[in-house]
Amino acid sequence: MTKPAAAVRMLLRAVLPGAALLLAPCAMAEAPPPEAEQKPVQAFGADHPSCREWTDGCLVCARQADGSAACSTVGMACLPAAVACLKSDE
């Protein structure tokens, strides 16, 4: 094998995998659009006044003494689920 042919093969081995990654479809592009009526997890407390603590698996919110909601900070790689009440007055 000649030196130019070997150099071309080395270049292709280095470039093609990166090009394939750039041309691959993005997983985010395939995600369905959010529902138009979807409320933020913080609003769950207003719709469920007897719930004192709720979560979507990413955020945890708790009702404060004044009735407002205090929520944790979401992690970077968290995928929220349906909101559920953890602690209730009932």
| Structural domain spans, the chain | 3-88
Q: pLDDT tier at 41 (50, 70, 90 boundaries)?
A: confident
Share of the chain above pLDDT 90, in %: 38
- For 45, the token pair is 């407390």
Could you tell me if 68 and 26 are in contact, meaning their C-beta atoms sit under 8 angstroms apart?
Answer: no
pLDDT at position 72, please?
Answer: 93
Predicted TM-score (pTM) of the model is 0.56
Give how far the C-alpha of residue 90 lies from the chain's centroid of Cα atoms, to the nearest Å: 32
Share of the chain above pLDDT 70, in %: 67
pLDDT at position 32, please?
Answer: 58
pLDDT at position 1, please?
Answer: 60
pLDDT at position 57, please?
Answer: 93
As a whole number, mean pLDDT of residues 16-25 equals 61
Which residues, at least 6 apart from 60, have a Cβ–Cβ distance to it below 8 Å? 53, 54, 71, 72, 86
